[in-house]
Structure 1
């Protein structure tokens, strides 16, 4: 080997060693660490830097597993298996205690104690499974099976489900155990009851929305729990045995446990436009457990009106230059005044020309205790001949509470559509389902009105006509009052 070749090889080896040494300062494996999100909305990115694409976001309080550190960025993994990078400034790190016995090593039939404040019980070993109820800190459970991440348990009332292994600690085995199983719930034990979390919840003849209704129960009602089947609870009511959707109730814990509202670890909220200055897209996931009461029908008539678009977002632009945001706001404000004159309590996502993110509108509605949500829009298409009126609603089949609320959503949409067609005389484009953010994630019956087409010259002129706007507002008002009357709250 020549001197030149040897020197070249030596330089290459030194370069490789330097790179490895530098990389060791930048990359630190932290497989045993966990963390909690401290920022209100934290972006998840494809790589360690803001130049990488966003793949979702997490809300404050979410728990994550930290697998790697690179400079000021952490690589995290969620319980759902999703991985990505977040900025270290918005994660509070901790190292799990090694003194807690591994649940996976516990023999079948042992008992455990819940360590999380209130922990979700799920149908399967993962956050993608539906929630069946909850257990509170200090509650005893029977351990049927376990893996490194999830534990199959039986509650005192016989309900079987899965909880995250990090929130249950195996009880030490006594030398002369008398009874390692939780005490079965008696008929008077609160653990054999469920509490309704939806404001108004249908009771049905069987475990599914295709069964006939047998009346309704209200938020806070407590019922004897008989069994659980496919996400539905079989309960004893004053009118006999009935079923209700598990997503609209929670299993009560024993009086000695601290019964708070559920706060699951690593539960990203399934929204598509969170309230954040950057307007970034969060990852799809499950409903935040603090928002688990999607059926709100208070005893007063309260509506949330949502004039579509606004501010920097003009919406559709008509042939002559009309902005959809302006038409929507005018009709919404007219509707609000008519409703207030009729004794209806009206709230609005916006009452002037301002920009609000899609999820911002959802959050406003969900925090309002409104009975219904009506989003007002003007339609548009590339075919200038298309005209008419339509109303949308949506039922996400992956959200049990929304499924239980399906009939209310469709009923509201049909009533509003019928009133609009009758009043405006435009083509009846019908009632349809579409996966719009503002009607998918609202926790109350929600619809989206497409009054007429700005892309059609005749209808653009009508949408800017005061008399037409008045008729549209009156039709929406009449539909809302008709709906409230049918529910007995007006």
Structure 2
């Protein structure tokens, strides 16, 4: 009787545990779903603010391995990935080679390019050779999708690869580019530079630092660096466009973009300069001023031109240029700089940088610095 009593107690604990841990369930082995939304972001974790690691399109197949809080766990590019279940339709279990637990997803959908001067590459990544370029409005048939790159069929019958975030398969709320003011360019060479003294014909990638779950530094009054940077970037972009530049923005809203993705965005274009905007912070409250960082010696000239222009335009201290091995500069092939536009840990700097007047001065200075750099 003693053993029976222990047996019943054990069964009771097992039943109780099954009620206390309801959030994680295992899907049927090999359960497949079909994507019915036009665009479905693939994320690194089961949350709406998880990092986007890829994009699926309507009709793509997903094989589920478990479910958690309304998210389905699958594999994407060989890595664990999550997609929102409410964008999926269950389908009959069959052996399907197109499920996302393989390296790529095969599809017959078509895409439309949403940006100008987009580079077409020989493989799915910015480390592959450039084999051509495309412009906004160009349409291609997709051969397959690998991570966040589409293989497309070109007019000459060859295959090429294009970044998914530069096509209509990228969601509007997380679109990473704002191109305009550029002419079509079908050559693999850089865009011709015209009108000395202006930025017409130049592609400038503007990178507002942080965003989404990454707030950056927090000011004395609770203001987030990511918000100050966003406000400043709008003004900088406007002045660059007024000078004739084509401006590509790595984020145009409050969402997270990884450092690698920011570099990939720049490397997807025929980029002439990459400018990352930030505000600084330091434990010592008296530290103040503006600094421009560069990654290697070839970027020193760009840093010097922009910092000199800032020093002669804004009222904050000139801290000069400095060399640092920042990831976002290291991964970008174009001439690149990272600008710290003041210390939000310093009360005087903070009061200044929050004003529209200061942010407009920054926009003027960066624009003038780029003009000086390209026409020196």
- Corresponding position of 1:477: 367
Deviation per CA, 1:388-428, whole angstroms, max 9, x where unpaired?
Answer: 43224669xxxxxxxxxx95x66544432343346566121
> Separation in 2 of the partners of 1:17 and 1:317?
50
Question: 1:386 and 1:79, CA in 2 relative to 1: closer, same or farther beyond 3 A?
Answer: same
Question: 1:5 and 1:369, CA in 2 relative to 1: closer, same or farther beyond 3 A?
Answer: same
Any residues of structure 2 matched to 1:241-320 within 5 Å, and which?
246-249=128-131, 260=141, 263-267=144-148, 289-290=163-164, 298-299=191-192, 300-301=201-202, 303=204, 305=206, 316-317=218-219
Any residues of structure 2 matched to 1:441-456 within 5 Å, and which?
447-456=337-346
> Separation in 2 of the partners of 1:445 and 1:12?
67
Question: 1:308 and 1:84, CA in 2 relative to 1: closer, same or farther beyond 3 A?
Answer: closer
**Pick aligned residue for 1:333 from 219, 225, 235:** 235
**Pick aligned residue for 2:56 from 55, 60, 75:** 60
Kindly indicate whether the alpha-carbon contact (under 8 Å) linking 1:308 and 1:329 is maintained by their aligned counterparts in 2: no
Question: 1:99 and 1:476, CA in 2 relative to 1: closer, same or farther beyond 3 A?
Answer: closer
- Corresponding position of 2:255: 357
Q: How many residues align?
A: 308
**Pick aligned residue for 1:391 from 278, 292, 300:** 292
Do structure 1's residue 434 and structure 2's residue 316 form an aligned pair?
no
- Identify unmatched segments of 5+ residues in structure 2: 107-115, 133-139, 151-160, 168-176, 178-187, 193-200
Kindly indicate whether the alpha-carbon contact (under 8 Å) linking 1:388 and 1:452 is maintained by their aligned counterparts in 2: yes
Kindly indicate whether the alpha-carbon contact (under 8 Å) linking 2:43 and 2:83 is maintained by their aligned counterparts in 1: yes
Deviation at 1:321, TM superposition (A): 8.5
**What SS does the corresponding residue of 2:318 show, helix, strand or coil?**
coil
> Separation in 2 of the partners of 1:321 and 1:99?
51
Question: 1:372 and 1:461, CA in 2 relative to 1: closer, same or farther beyond 3 A?
Answer: same
Deviation at 1:475, TM superposition (A): 2.9
Deviation per CA, 1:98-130, whole angstroms, max 9, x where unpaired?
Answer: 699xxxxxxxxxxxxxx99xxxxxxxxxx9xxx
Deviation at 1:466, TM superposition (A): 8.8
Deviation at 1:480, TM superposition (A): 1.3
Deviation per CA, 1:194-253, whole angstroms, max 9, x where unpaired?
Answer: xxxx959xxxxxxxxxxxxxxxxxx689xxxxxx9xx9xxxxxxxxxxxx9634338xxx
Kindly indicate whether the alpha-carbon contact (under 8 Å) linking 1:296 and 1:443 is maintained by their aligned counterparts in 2: no
Kindly indicate whether the alpha-carbon contact (under 8 Å) linking 1:302 and 1:344 is maintained by their aligned counterparts in 2: no
- Corresponding position of 2:74: 76
- Corresponding position of 1:30: 29
**What SS does the corresponding residue of 1:383 show, helix, strand or coil?**
coil
Kindly indicate whether the alpha-carbon contact (under 8 Å) linking 2:42 and 2:81 is maintained by their aligned counterparts in 1: no
Deviation at 1:93, TM superposition (A): 5.1
> Separation in 1 of the partners of 2:327 and 2:270?
23
Question: 1:9 and 1:423, CA in 2 relative to 1: closer, same or farther beyond 3 A?
Answer: closer
Question: 1:348 and 1:311, CA in 2 relative to 1: closer, same or farther beyond 3 A?
Answer: farther
Deviation per CA, 1:25-48, whole angstroms, max 9, x where unpaired?
Answer: x755323747658463254547xx
Kindly indicate whether the alpha-carbon contact (under 8 Å) linking 1:29 and 1:69 is maintained by their aligned counterparts in 2: no
**Pick aligned residue for 1:374 from 275, 286, 292:** 275
Do structure 1's residue 89 and structure 2's residue 67 form an aligned pair?
no
Question: 1:450 and 1:333, CA in 2 relative to 1: closer, same or farther beyond 3 A?
Answer: same
- Identify unmatched segments of 5+ residues in structure 1: 101-114, 117-126, 128-147, 151-163, 168-197, 201-218, 222-227, 232-243, 251-258, 270-286, 396-405
> Separation in 2 of the partners of 1:64 and 1:414?
50
Q: Which of structures 1 and 2 has the bigger CA Rg? A: 1
**What SS does the corresponding residue of 1:481 show, helix, strand or coil?**
helix
> Separation in 2 of the partners of 1:15 and 1:316?
47
Deviation at 1:481, TM superposition (A): 1.1
Question: 1:463 and 1:86, CA in 2 relative to 1: closer, same or farther beyond 3 A?
Answer: closer
Deviation per CA, 1:251-271, whole angstroms, max 9, x where unpaired?
Answer: xxxxxxxx84664244499xx
Do structure 1's residue 344 and structure 2's residue 244 form an aligned pair?
yes
**What SS does the corresponding residue of 1:479 show, helix, strand or coil?**
helix
Q: CA RMSD in A?
A: 6.3
Question: 1:56 and 1:306, CA in 2 relative to 1: closer, same or farther beyond 3 A?
Answer: closer
Kindly indicate whether the alpha-carbon contact (under 8 Å) linking 2:32 and 2:90 is maintained by their aligned counterparts in 1: yes
